[in-house]
Amino acid sequence: MASLGLRHDQEFSVSAGLDLARVSIVHGATAEVIATTPDGTEYSATVSFAGHVASVPVAGDWVGVSPAQIQEVTQRYSALCRPDPSGRDVQVLAANIDIVLLVVPINRGLNIRMLERFAIMGFQSGARPIVVLSKVDDADDIDARIEEAEQTVPGVAIMTTSSKSGHGIDQLAGLLHQGVTAVMLGASGAGKTSLLNALEGSDEVTRTVGRSGEGRHATTTRKLYRLKAGGVLLDIPGIRLLDLLIGQEGLDETFADITSLAEGCRFSDCKHSGDSGCAVEAAVASGELRAQRLENWRLIQNEMALKEQRRLADERAAKRRRRRSDD
């Protein structure tokens, strides 16, 4: 199962009589899986979900399958998530990933707000985020964009790529060796599908498109690809800023510079907004920290607070509805 992203130090166990499989793509109530029998024979199948399966499988899940059904979903060690379209739940986009490639184009400058939020989502997944600055063939002052990215996500590895010229493709492929599962996270139009084609030396993903052109530059499903480099890549649809799931852990990792400075604040619950003895605001005053960096942190904190207020309001409304129905 190494060609499906299983590392030598990993083991996913399923019940006796079931074959271990990895989900490639989900189509509503069915999924395509790649499975291995006890004697090592690999096969692909389209299967349904048994009614007792606790969680809906997604691309990247390791599952136990009978000939026609997914009977078990193994515990995920990482998961890339976004808010459910309903706004009341979380939708898992990809499971059991090792690397999240944050694909951000720089042909029109660097969208810092987007990169910050993608980084939060990447850290929140439990996988390792890596920044991929794409479309460098059409970008100006690349060194300045790299410096901006380094300041935006300190400590995160940064790569530059061009699917047109091939710049950075070999370096990217070197990360995606056997036993590694990666996912590309980016907005529509960031060049994710083109990067996938460049990695594989093929235009297969975008070539088979209908005359209408639908999907030509956009992924609409979540699918697992086995790469020539030996690793596995989960291709997911483009993400909008409104789709992002923001958590405190991911925020602290993305704004590691502010998190570190905050250890010197007088109060442990310092809001870095006029609080007495605030080390973060002192760093801004001295020029150690950019004022815009702190402002961006505040905006995201406020966004998190508003979402939490809405969640609590929804919970209270649901409780009132249940009480009325019980009366």
What are the tens digits of pLDDT across the range 115-165?
999 999 999 999 999 999 999 998 889 999 999 999 999 999 999 999 999
Q: Locate all alpha helices (DSSP H) within the chain, ordered by sequence.
A: 112-125, 142-152, 169-175, 192-200, 204-207, 248-254, 256-262, 279-286, 291-326
Asked whether residue 266 carries a pLDDT value surpassing 90, the answer given is yes
Mean pLDDT of the chain: 86
Predicted structure pTM score: 0.83
pLDDT-above-90 percentage for the chain: 50
- pLDDT score recorded for residue 209: 32
**Residue 295: alpha-carbon gap to chain centroid:** 24
Of 172, 194, 178, 161, nearest to 226 (Cα)? 178
Count of Cβ atoms closer than 10 Å to residue 85 Cβ: 9
Query: Within 13 Å, how many C-alpha atoms sit on residue 214's CB side?
Result: 4
Quick one: pLDDT at residue 183? 94
Contact assessment for residue 104 and residue 159, using Cβ atoms and an 8 Å cutoff: no
Tell me, what's the pLDDT at 327?
67
pLDDT of residue 232: 93
What was the pLDDT predicted at 238? 76
Cβ 129 vs Cβ 123: under 8 Å: yes
Query: Is 253 a residue whose pLDDT tops 80?
Result: yes
Q: How far apart are CA 119 and CA 130, in angstroms?
A: 9
CA end-to-end span of the chain, whole Å? Answer: 55
- Asked if residues 198 and 163 have their Cβ atoms less than 8 Å apart, the reply is yes
Q: From CA 271, how far away is CA 302, in angstroms rounded?
A: 11
Average pLDDT of 259-264? 94
What average pLDDT does range 241-259 have in this prediction? 83
For the chain, the C-alpha Rg in angstroms (whole number) is 22
User: Could you tell me which residue, 320 or 207, shows the higher pLDDT?
Assistant: 320
- Domains of the chain, start order: 2-73 (2.40.50.140), 79-243 (3.40.50.300), 255-326 (1.10.40.50)
List, for residues 15-71, the tens digit of each pLDDT value. Answer: 998 999 999 998 888 999 999 888 888 999 999 999 888 888 999 999 999 978 999
Integer angstrom CA distances of residue 104 from 110, 121, 130: 7, 14, 11
**What is the mean pLDDT of the segment spanning 83-99?**
80
pLDDT value at residue 149: 95
Measured in residues, the chain has a length of: 327
Confidence at residue 305, expressed as pLDDT on a 0 to 100 scale: 80
Backbone angles phi, psi at 307, to 5 degrees: -65, -40
- The two tokens of residue 295 are 């402002």
- Please tell me the predicted confidence (pLDDT) of residue 29: 87
Of the listed ranges 118-132, 232-246, 295-309, the one predicted with least confidence:
232-246
At 87, the pLDDT band (50, 70, 90 cuts) reads low
Q: Which pLDDT score is estimated for 53?
A: 87
> Which of 73 and 303 is assigned the larger pLDDT?
73
Residues 174-220 pLDDT 10s: 999 999 999 999 888 888 888 999 998 876 544 333 333 333 444 44
Q: Give the model's confidence band at 242: pLDDT under 50 very low, under 70 low, under 90 confident, else very high.
A: low
